[in-house]
Amino acid sequence: MKNSAIYRIVIKDFVVSIRSGKFWTLAGFVFIFASVSLWLGQSQYNRVSTIKAEAIQQARHQWENQGEKNPHGAGHFGSVAFKPITPLYMIEAGLTDYVGEWVYLETHKQNSAEKRPANDRSVLFRFGQITPGFLFRFLIPLFVILLGYSTFSSEKEQNTLRMLLSQSITSKELFYGKLLSMFLQLAIMIVPVFLVTMGMFLMQDFSPFIPHMFILFMAYVLYLSTFVFIAIGISARSRTSGSALILLFAFWLISTILIPRLTVTISEILSPPFSSFDLKVTHDEKQDNKYVYGYKGRDDFSEMYAEIESELMQEYGVGDADSLEVNPFGFAIEKTEEEGQIIYDKTFGQINDLYKSQNKLHRKSVAFSPLSALHFLSMGLAHNDLQAHEDFLDQAEEYRRDLMKTLNMDIAYNSRKGKNNEEGNSHLPYVQGEEFWKSIRTFEYDELGLIKIISNHKYDVISLFLWFFASAFFANWSVKKLKIN
Amino acid sequence: MLETKNLTKKFGDFTALHNLNLKVNSGEIFCLLGANGAGKSTTINLFLNFLKPSSGQALIDGLDVCQYPLETKSRFTYIPENLRLYPQLTGLENLDFFYGLSHTQNQGLPNTGKVSKDQLIEVLNEAGLPSEFLHRRVSSYSKGMRQKVGIALAMVKNAQVLLLDEPTSGLDPQASNEFSELLIRMKSKGVAILMATHDLWRARDTGSHIGIMKQGHLLESFEATTISHSDLESLYLSHMYRHKTPIREE
């Protein structure tokens, strides 16, 4: 091994890089930036997760201690579904600050997510957060460029390439020697960050997320390798280090900043978003008129109530409504829930379709920018991408429907003959208490599984691999075509 | 040891080298004289396999450099006009690096076993590099010192061939003289040396054979001992002035 040409080129390039002072400057910057961003990420994670845990506890306490009331009244009192954050939030903040953190769950209405942290922050927040994800996505590729732009061009400028190529080495040995030297320098920069993060995960019992963290790190390796290959390839093709640096900087600028932002703008132009006012008006109009075009075209609640009451009388074989063991109001109110759901599914379906349409356009940018692919994947792994948010909303809505059904069916089956029904057949005097409220499960968000995440992001994974192999081919081809002028 | 057979190199319509035939045996120094653009460096670059011949062959130890690039490169050391080494490394480290690269391919050749650091220092001393510079970075070396590292590489590599492209250009007289002495020592060890140079005096004193090139043609070649310094100068100048028009193909 020590006698191989590859080994000797690796060590020589490494020593040259170290002695030039460039490596330690960049490595020092990565160390400081990674330490600060991990510390900030951990603090932010602790703060947000503590606040959320307290809020969940408080909301549950309020639910259980809402006092004695009719279950339908409890439906109006409502409950709250909180979206948890995962430990990968400290690395990748994703959309967390821009989509709502909780949904208010009440009867008759499906609400959108509330509380966007970005709304509460200063305008300086727009400049972005310091996270390890930012370091890996933007800064380390830049450092890779600064480390690698002169890999071959400086050999040309110093004329050492003539000496190097007059030795009995193959272009393959030269390529792998240069490549491994770059990887060695990169590894010294990023492996400690990975190990420290893994250590933090293990110490804080975040072990369920270690596979996510590992895959995220592998994605970073693929992404950064792409920049290593491109730096080597362009350096080999360029006559001077200056021209190599300009070309590489242009690639960095276009792929990490311009393309991701350009596709957002284009997708908004092609699929304009609804204004929140338009959305509310449309939504309220549908809600107000739901009985007109809702269930079987009835135009008021009493007509529907009468129909359900009649059906129940038939089913239970009684001649008058007062003889029914069940309360038609519970069934009728559940029916209005189901009708409302159809309207809400349409309204929110339009919003989701819009988001999907915008997202679809935006995701096409992965063909032009490895950063976009990496960013989508890392947000997916951190459970703070659009799919995770939609999944949370779906689960919250499912819970709301289940909760309302539980309350409505309690009225339906228990209000006529159960406890607290001392004043006749009306549902209103019927009340439930703490024991019942406690029997209703708390909302718990079931996060997407790792396989589902990878499946959602298969095109991002494929894109990262394609970028990796295409850039590797380019670098190899460029080194093979090296010419002495 | 070093041979060209009808070696020709064309760049588009321009023929840089016309049917060059020359042979340099072991223990010979063949000096190629000629003005800029005469084809001297093209000949060296063809031996280095940096250029592909349009026709003909460049052979080292009987091996075609295009067909056996690694094998032929393992047999020679190349010293350009301005030998550039890695400025961040010391002379010793540069020698260790370049020797290491050749050593990896030289396993089958005689006297090419691994050498120790002490042996490398010994060779650098033998090549005349001042001992206080051994561990200094090459960025502080003069051109003559860098050329000596190149010669040390040839010595430690046990190269059978030296390809020199104007190696004394820009050296002060003392450094030039020291370099010439090193070449004569290499010659005496049986190394075949092909040197492109403008220095008529050095060619006459150091070379065993001299060839005069013009516009890609080898006009004349002879043994160095058969001509005096002044006759060589006259001959060279007469060739330079004689053919003002392009030389016809032979």
pLDDT tens per residue, range B163-212:
999 888 878 888 888 888 989 999 999 999 999 998 898 899 999 999 99
A172 CB within 8 Å of a chain B CB: no
Are the beta carbons of B108 and B60 closer than 8 angstroms?
no
Mean pLDDT over A448-455 rounds to: 93
Mutate to test the interface with B, among A6, A18, A163 (most CBs of B within 10 A): A163
C-alpha distance from B109 to closest chain A C-alpha (Å): 13
pLDDT band with cut points at 50, 70 and 90 for residue A27: very high
Element (H, E) at A301: helix A301-316
- The mean pLDDT of chain A is 84
Domain B1-75+160-250 class in CATH: alpha beta
Asked if A20's CB is within 8 angstroms of B104's CB, the reply is no
Q: Angle of helix A210-237 relative to helix A140-148, nearest 10 degrees?
A: 30
Mean pLDDT over A243-262 rounds to: 92
CA A199 vs. chain centroid, Å, equals 23
Asked if B114's CB is within 8 angstroms of A484's CB, the reply is no
Spell out which chain B residues touch chain A, with contact meaning CB-CB distance below 8 angstroms: 45, 48, 50, 69-71, 73-74, 76-78, 80, 82-89, 93, 97-98, 100-106, 114, 137, 163
CA neighbor of A391 nearest in space, from A342, A347, A348, A447: A447
pLDDT (tens digit per residue) in A89-145: 888 888 877 777 788 888 887 777 766 555 555 544 444 567 888 899 999 999 999
Residue A294 has pLDDT above 50, yes or no: no
- Lowest mean per-residue pLDDT among A28-37, A168-177, A334-343: A334-343
Give chain A's domain count.
1
Asked if B83's CB is within 8 angstroms of A163's CB, the reply is yes
Query: CA–CA separation, A346 vs B154, rounded Å?
Result: 82
Query: CA–CA separation, B35 vs B211, rounded Å?
Result: 12
The pLDDT assigned to A289 comes to 52
Mutate to test the interface with A, among B73, B97, B160 (most CBs of A within 10 A): B97
Percent of chain B whose pLDDT exceeds 70: 92
Mean pLDDT over A364-393 rounds to: 88
pLDDT band with cut points at 50, 70 and 90 for residue A404: very high
Sequence letter at residue A138: F
Distance from first CA to last CA of chain A, Å, rounded?
A: 32
Are the beta carbons of A190 and A433 closer than 8 angstroms?
no
Asked if B114's CB is within 8 angstroms of A167's CB, the reply is no
Q: Give the largest Cα separation in chain A, rounded.
A: 107
DSSP letter at A447 equals P
Query: What sections of A204-237 are H helices per DSSP?
Result: 210-237
Asked if A5's CB is within 8 angstroms of B100's CB, the reply is yes
| Residues from chain A contacting residue B84 (CB–CB below 8 Å) | 158-160, 162-163
Are the beta carbons of B100 and A3 closer than 8 angstroms?
yes
pLDDT (tens digit per residue) in B206-230: 999 999 999 999 999 999 999 988 8
* ipTM topping 0.90: no
A160 CB within 8 Å of a chain B CB: yes
Quote the domain boundaries for residue A38: 5-480
Q: Which residue is associated with the tokens 């284009």? A: A266
CA A337 vs. chain centroid, Å, equals 30
Are the beta carbons of A299 and A292 closer than 8 angstroms?
yes
Chain B residue closest in CA terms to A9: B97
pLDDT band with cut points at 50, 70 and 90 for residue A279: low
A50 CB within 8 Å of a chain B CB: no
pLDDT band with cut points at 50, 70 and 90 for residue A466: very high
The pLDDT assigned to A335 comes to 86
The pLDDT assigned to A286 comes to 55
- The mean pLDDT of chain B is 88
Are the beta carbons of B232 and B212 closer than 8 angstroms?
no
The domain limits of chain B are 1-75+160-250, 86-158
CA distances from A53 to A66, A82, A481 (A): 20, 9, 60
Output the DSSP codes for A66-96.
S-SB-HHHHHHH-EEEEPP--GGGGT--TTT
The pLDDT assigned to A147 comes to 94
Asked if B88's CB is within 8 angstroms of A16's CB, the reply is yes
CA distances from B11 to A216, A302, B34, B248 (A): 52, 97, 19, 18
Mean pLDDT over A26-55 rounds to: 89
C-alpha distance from B246 to closest chain A C-alpha (Å): 26
Give the number of beta-carbon pairs within 8 Å between A and B: 79
| Residues from chain B contacting residue A5 (CB–CB below 8 Å) | 100-101, 104-105
DSSP letter at B90 equals B
Whether residue A485 is contained in a domain is answered as no
Mean pLDDT over B104-108 rounds to: 48
